[in-house]
Amino acid sequence: MIRVSGLHKSYGPLDVLRGVDLEVARGSVFALLGSNGAGKTTIVRILATLLRPDAGTATVNGFDVVAQPARVRESISLTGQFAAVDEILTGRENLVMIARLRRVAAPRKVADDLLARFSLTDAGGRPVGTYSGGMRRRLDIAMSLIGDPPVIFLDEPTTGLDPEARIEVWDEIQKLAGVGTTVFLTTQYLEEAERLADRIAILHRGTIVVDGTLAALRELLPPATTELVERQPSLEEIFLSVVGSAKERS
Rounded mean pLDDT, 14-38: 91
User: What order of strands is seen across the sheet that includes strand 2-11?
Assistant: 14-24, 2-11, 55-60, 63-64
Q: How far is CA 121 from CA 87, 112, 142, 158, 173, in A?
A: 17, 7, 12, 22, 19
Q: Is the pLDDT of residue 50 over 90?
A: yes
The rounded mean pLDDT for the chain is: 87
> Quick one: DSSP state of residue 222?
P
Q: Is the pLDDT of residue 160 over 70?
A: yes
Q: Is the pLDDT of residue 241 over 80?
A: no
The pTM of this model reads: 0.82
- 205-228 pLDDT, tens digit per residue, is 899 988 988 888 878 777 767 677
- 55-114 pLDDT, tens digit per residue, is 999 999 999 999 999 999 999 998 876 667 899 999 999 999 999 998 999 999 999 999
The domains found in the chain, sorted by start residue, are 2-249 (3.40.50.300)
DSSP E strands in the chain: the ranges are: 2-11, 14-24, 29-33, 55-60, 63-64, 76-79, 151-155, 182-187, 199-204, 207-212
The pLDDT value recorded for residue 232 is 74
Q: How far is CA 14 from CA 112, 121, 208, 249, in A?
A: 46, 47, 17, 55
The pLDDT-based confidence of 174 (bands split at 50, 70, 90) is: confident
**The total number of residues written for the chain in this structure:** 250
Rounded mean pLDDT, 10-24: 94
